[in-house]
Amino acid sequence: MRAVLIVNPNATSTTPAGRDLLAHALESRVKLTVAHTDHRGHAIEIGRDAVRDGVDVLIVHGGDGTVNEVVNGILGEAGPGEPAPAV
């Protein structure tokens, strides 16, 4: 199973220690890629790319704005009836 951990380092709910702990726990279960957002709208791009790449799961480590962007990226790319990653 392929997964992407999307981290918004500017979100108040995230810390480097939390990110590292989460990534370490996930790496034992899935083939993990970690992506950091670096500008507004970047999580939309990451979500869109994940759909194109056939990623199975997206894990969001950030605030509600980051989750919103990821979902919008997925919905903007996956067509009706097409598979989309779990969030």
Active site residue 53: no
Which among 38, 49, 53, 64 is annotated as catalytic?
Answer: 64
Helix ranges (H only) for the chain are 16-27, 42-53, 64-77
Write the CB contacts of 50 (distance below 8 Å, at least 6 apart in sequence).
4, 58, 73, 74, 85
Q: Give the residue numbers annotated as catalytic, written as ranges.
A: 64
